[in-house]
A = this chain, B = another copy of it.
Amino acid sequence: MINKVVESAMTAVADVRSGSTILVGGFGEAGSPATLLQALIEQGATDLTMVSNNVGYDDYGLAALIARGRVRKMICAFPNYAAGIAFRNRYLAGQIELELVPQGTLVERMRAAGAGLGGFFTPTGAETELSAGKETRVIDGVVQVLERPLKGDYALIRGKVADRWGNLTYWRAQRNFNPIMAMAATTTIAEVSEIVPLGAIDPDVIITPGPFIHRVTVCPRYNPT
C-alpha cells in the first residue's frame, strides 16, 4: 500500500543534508510551509541554498534559518522589505549570497527543471543588469534571455488536503509557487491541513498529483505569535 503520510514535520525533514538546495513555497506567508521550516531549524542542516520568492519574516521560519547562519545562498525575487531583517543583516555583512531572479523567471526555471527542459528563452530582464552575462538572442524581433532550469534537492510546500498517494489541493492563493516547486525537487515534502481517504478528492480538482509528492504531514497553519 502506498502511504506517503509521515507522522511529523520533524520526521519529514529528518534526512535533509547540509549543502542541499531547498525550494520553499509560499508568497509572503500565504502558502508558506512554516511548520516544515520550523522543523528544519531544529533539524540542523546548514550551508543551505534556499529558493523562495521572499526571505521570511521577523525571526521565524526562513528568516530564523537565515538569522542562525544556516543559509549560504538565497535565490529569490523580493528580499527587500522591512520584516526581512534577518536577510538584510547578513547580506550587508557579506555573510549570505544573493541571486536575484525576476519572479516569473524564478517560477519558470523551476518548472523547466520539473518538466525536463534544458532551458528557455524569455523576454523578461533582457537588456537589464539581471541578465548581464547571460546568452541572449533576438527572436521574432524581441531580445530574449536564455534561462536555465533550477532544481531542488528538496521542496517544502504547503497544501490544503492530501491523500496517502500524495494527491494535493490548495486553498485559494495558498497555491502560488507550491505546485511548481512540487515538480522541481528530488524529494518534495508537503504539509497540509488534512489527510483524507484515498478517492475522497475528485480527480478533476487535484492540483498536484501523487507522483510529484514524496512525503505528506499534517500541520495546522503556522501562526507566529
A residues in contact (CB < 8 Å) with B: 108, 112, 115-123, 137, 139-140, 142, 144, 169-172, 175, 203-205
Contacts and interface: CB of A to CB of B under 8 A. Distances in A.
A140 B118 contact: yes
Contacts of A171: 204
Q: Chain A at the B interface: mostly helix, strand, loop or mixed?
A: loop
A52 to B, nearest CB: 22
Given A170-B204, A172-B203, A121 B120 contact: yes
A144 B118 CA distance: 7
A118 B108 contact: no
22 contacts: A108-B117, A112-B120, A116-B122, A117-B121, A118-B120, A118-B121, A118-B122, A118-B123, A118-B137, A118-B144, A119-B121, A119-B139, A119-B144, A120-B120, A120-B121, A169-B204, A170-B204, A171-B204, A172-B203, A175-B204, A204-B205, A205-B205
A116 to B, nearest CB: 7
Nearest to A139: B118
Given A171-B204, A205-B204, A123 B116 contact: yes
Nearest to A144: B118
Contacts of A121: 117-120
Nearest to A126: B118
Nearest to A120: B120
5 nearest CB pairs, A to B = A118-B121, A118-B139, A118-B144, A120-B120, A205-B205
A161 to B, nearest CB: 11
A126 to B, nearest CB: 10
The listed residue with most B CB atoms (<10 A of its CB), out of A112, A115, A203, A204, is: A204
A112 B169 CA distance: 25
A112 to B, nearest CB: 7
B119 A120 contact: yes
Contacts of A169: 204
Contacts of A137: 118
